[in-house]
Structure 1
Amino acid sequence: MIDTHAHLYDPIFKDEIEHHVNDIKASGVSEVWLPNCDLASWGQLVELANAFPEFALPMIGLHPTYVKENYQIELAALAKILAEQKVLAIGEIGLDYYWDTSFKAEQIYAFETQCHWAIDNKLWIDVHCRKAYSDLLLLLKKSEYANLSGIIHCFSGDSREAKTLVDLGFMLGIGGVITYKNTTLFNDIKEISLTNIVLETDAPYLTPVPYRGQPNSPKYIPLIAQKLADLYEVSIEELIQITDANANRLKVASCY
């Protein structure tokens, strides 16, 4: 199994990282893809990626909630790293209007800048979007981004937005939320083919049931896979085969 989005470099894992990696591998996970947040997180991320080079795969990007007054300095520093560092994708980038909209214009600028990084480097993008799907779709529909592809991490839009994003060439990242009792997520994605779905945990966040309330880990991704398999009425083996193949298409596209 491939966990397409986990912050395994988070300090919560650091002291016992080899133990965590062994547990994750024992659960059947072969790769964990690492989305970056900002310049400060990059050092921790790349240290982990270098320690486990075929297991922990790095992305680079500026997360929308980290877009503040100094965001252009952050972007310039990350762009310099990108010029020298092989990465899987540009991420985690996007728009987040949930907590604060005072940097909305800056978030949009940062997102578009990083979309161009992806185009220039023939990479895909890992997109964070929260309470901002209207603006995200307006941006992704621009002709200059016609060839962009990637993952909408932790998809939380409605069924229309799901279909539009898939039509634009994006896959939907599905994680622990699918296991929550009151979620409407499956109603919003049930018309989406499994060929457009990838698995993720967003560890240490969004822990699936029955471990909700505890730190999340990629080792819990079988719980997400089983829930999705039940909802799509396929075997877990078939679901894993399909979603891993989807993830591997992106990996091949970025020549990683």
Structure 2
Amino acid sequence: MIITDTHTHLYSEAFDEDRDAMMQRTFEAGVTRLFVPAIDSSYTQGMLDLQAKYPENVFLMMGLHPTHVKENYKEELQHVEDMLNKHKFYAIGEIGIDLYWDKSTLGIQQDAFRHQIKLAKQHKLPIVIHCREAFDQIFEILEEEKSEDLFGIFHCFTGTIEQAHQAISYNMKLGIGGVATFKNGKIDQFLNQIDLKHIVLETDSPYLAPKPYRGKRNESAYIIKVLEKLSETYKVPEQKIADITTENSKAVFAI
């Protein structure tokens, strides 16, 4: 059984004390395809080092995270462009809009999001979207930019069934992680109405650990708990969930 974690921050400081042991637990759990999103330029070297150490398992994205869109965002976007021209990446991400922490940066977040969508089209890469309290703003830009060459993943999807269908209409898979195991996560109430062909698995580690680890540091090995939850939700074997979601990830990332 090949299991794919489509979103894991393996370079996070949260793993500095035991990264190798964490990676070993991940592989022992059968999680062998790990897609790693960018945050900003300060993490780039750590990402490259990680890929160099685990070249068969770690696949990098490049992008500027919306919560890191600050006054210097144009310099950061230039870093994204420079890296895309000198290194192999499998997606532009994570990108999007986050209005949970700071609504005052909406304008520059929108600018950065549009710019990075254009980079994705230019480099023929998928996008991986971060959306927090910003569905309307995200959908507005996706509506403007929609085309055959715009596709990707709506990371950590936590919206309604209507928002799920709208995201899918823009050629997006839904990234499903630990929130699906939460009692108040809500998406478990309608997830089985979404065809599995639209679903990929993720952890967003070290964040959003699934039950029974909720509130603790998350890691990619815990994706097994998400797999178990989806098997229960869709009433199909875990092997089938793993196979379908891995195939879906291959369709997105082309690897």
Would you say same fold, with TM above 0.5?
A: yes
> Which residue in the other structure is 2:49 paired with?
47
For residue 185 of structure 1, the aligned residue among 182, 187, 201 is 187
Name the counterpart of 1:123. 125
Q: CA deviation at 1:226?
A: 0.6
Which residue of 77, 80, 83 corresponds with 2:79? 77
Tell which deviates more after alignment, 19-28 or 139-148.
139-148
Query: For residues 69 and 188 of structure 1, what CA distance do their matches in structure 2 show?
Result: 40
Whether the aligned pair in 2 keeps the contact of 1:140 and 1:146 (CA below 8 Å) is no
Match of 1:153 among 139, 152, 155: 155
Residue 193 of structure 2 aligns to a residue in which SS?
Answer: coil
| One-letter code aligned to 2:156 | C
Helix, strand or coil at the partner of 2:47 = helix
Structure 2: distance between partners of 1:246 and 1:220:
20
TM-fit CA distance, 1:11? 1.5
- How far the C-alpha of 1:145 sits from its partner, in A, is 4.1
- Displacement, 1:133? 0.6
| Preserved contact between residue 129 and residue 154 of structure 2 (Cα < 8 Å) | yes
Candidates 207, 212, 218, aligned match of 2:214: 212
Deviations 1:10-65 (A, max 9, x none): 11213332211111000010111100000111111111011111111110000000
For 2:146 and 2:206, the matched residues in 1 are separated by: 35
Distance 2:49 2:251 in 1: 26
Matching residue's letter, 1:108:
Q
**8 A Cα contact 1:159 1:187, kept in partner:** no
CA contact (8 A) 2:146 2:170 kept: no
How far is the alpha carbon of 1:187 from its aligned partner?
2.6
Paired residues of 2:40 and 2:65 also in contact (CA < 8 A) = yes
Q: Which moved more, 1:183-192 or 1:147-156?
A: 183-192
State the Cα distance separating 1:94 from its structure 2 match. 0.3
Deviates more, 1:1-10 or 1:183-192: 183-192
Query: 1:192 Cα shift?
Result: 1.2
Partner Cα distance (1:76, 1:150) in 2: 22
Q: Is the 8 A contact 2:124 2:149 kept in 1?
A: no
Aligned equivalent of 2:177: 175
User: 1:177, CA displacement in angstroms?
Assistant: 0.6
Mapped partners of 1:159, 1:71: distance in 2: 33
Range 104-113 or range 17-26, more displaced = 17-26
Aligned residues: 253
Deviant stretches of 4+, over 3 Å: 143-146
Q: Residue 103 of structure 1 aligns to a residue in which SS?
A: helix
* 2:204 is the counterpart of 1:233: no
TM-score, normalization by structure 2: 0.96
User: Is there any run of 5+ residues in structure 1 with no aligned partner, and where?
Assistant: none
Alignment partner of 1:118: what SS? helix
Across the aligned residues of Structure 1 and Structure 2, the Cα RMSD in angstroms comes to 1.2
Q: 1:57 maps to which residue?
A: 59
Q: 2:98 aligns with which of 71, 96, 99?
A: 96
| Unaligned 5+ runs, structure 2 | none
What is the distance in 2 between the residues matched to 1:169 and 1:144? 9
**Identity across the alignment (%):** 38
Normalised to the residue count of structure 1, the TM-score between the two structures is 0.96
CA distance in 1, matches of 2:171, 2:237: 26
